[in-house]
Structure 1
Amino acid sequence: MNIFPQSFQSLEQALSVSALKQKVHAANIANVDTPNYKSKQVDFQAALNNAAANQKMMGNRMNNQPFGLAGMQPIIKENNGTAFNPNGNNVDMDYEMAELAKNQLHYNALTERISGKLSTLSTVINGGR
């Protein structure tokens, strides 16, 4: 018997992606002065679109299975199209700091959601007390 609903797996994957985004943005900021360093971005949307397309292709064979995020890996893309500095580096500190703040808010929302689900589960286990 699984006491954790399917949504826990989705929330877990979302937390993992958010943590990966944090690492990538932190690496970009750390390399702001590194010559020829190209900024990187986490593209989870591409992985999500691929999974949705695969499920659609599978058609009726997957109708009884929930659409889950388990096993999907986000794609880390290197931004080769721009150069902000004469040394070939393309890290935009304003963009990276804004993305870091946005990701932190997303991570906090996810942890609050998981905390709420665990609190509800605890209430049920304790018989409403």
Structure 2
Amino acid sequence: MSLSLDKAMGILPEAVNVRAKRMELLASNIANADTPNYKARDIDFRSALQAAAGEGGNLPMARTQQGHIGPGGSGGTNGSLETLYRVPSQPSLDGNTVDPQLERAAFAENSLQYQSSLEFLNRRVSGIRDALRGER
């Protein structure tokens, strides 16, 4: 019987990666709140996680010639998350679409979810470690 750590961890490592990338984008939005013409960006967590799990609903890709680049393997984000531009609730005169209050709230919410994802991953690793030691 083979042990696959990818199967044992499930989608949790990808969830942590997507949350970390979203945290970077939200921090960038907050940092550029006063930059003229800066467009606020974000990630749709649900669709990013579905794409990482291989459930993105994309059409299957096939190579028609040997020199073509492959479709990217077995799901996963591989650093290529689709960033979306946020629609501003109150457009500013200088073209900046960042709403500092909204960004701070999204950052705080994402921070809690990131911490929860890390805790779930930590417990999964602890469970696997205990199982390998025969402690449970």
TM-score bin (small chain): 0.7 to 0.9
1:41 shift after superposition: 1.1
Higher fraction of helix: 1
Corresponding residue of 1:116: 123
Q: Please say if residues 39 and 79 of structure 1, whose CA atoms lie closer than 8 Å, have aligned partners that are also in contact.
A: yes
Q: Which runs of 5+ in 1 are unaligned?
A: 58-67
Corresponding residue of 1:13: 14
Say if 2:71 is the partner of 1:70: no
- CA 1:96/1:70 → structure 2, altered by over 3 Å: closer, same or farther? same
Cα offsets for 1:51-110 (capped at 9, x unmatched): 34248x8xxxxxxxxxx8524743101236565322111111111011111111111111
Corresponding residue of 2:67: none
2:92 paired residue among 85, 89, 92: 85
Corresponding residue of 2:23: 22
CA RMSD of aligned residues (A): 2.8
1:53 is paired with a residue whose SS is coil
2:96 is paired with a residue whose SS is coil
Return the letter of the residue paired with 2:21: L
Identity over aligned pairs, percent: 28
Taking the aligned partners of 1:81 and 1:93, their CA distance within structure 2 comes to 11
Return the letter of the residue paired with 1:128: E
Taking the aligned partners of 1:97 and 1:7, their CA distance within structure 2 comes to 34
1:44 shift after superposition: 3.6
Q: Kindly tell me the number of residue pairs found equivalent between the two proteins.
A: 119
Return the letter of the residue paired with 2:17: S
Corresponding residue of 1:127: 134
Q: Greater CA deviation, 6-15 or 28-37?
A: 6-15
Say if 2:113 is the partner of 1:106: yes
TM-score, scaled relative to structure 1: 0.75
Q: Which runs of 5+ in 2 are unaligned?
A: 61-73
Say if 2:60 is the partner of 1:53: no
TM-score, scaled relative to structure 2: 0.71
Q: Please say if residues 22 and 42 of structure 2, whose CA atoms lie closer than 8 Å, have aligned partners that are also in contact.
A: yes
Taking the aligned partners of 1:11 and 1:40, their CA distance within structure 2 comes to 24
Taking the aligned partners of 1:51 and 1:21, their CA distance within structure 2 comes to 20
2:83 is paired with a residue whose SS is strand
Q: Please say if residues 25 and 41 of structure 2, whose CA atoms lie closer than 8 Å, have aligned partners that are also in contact.
A: yes
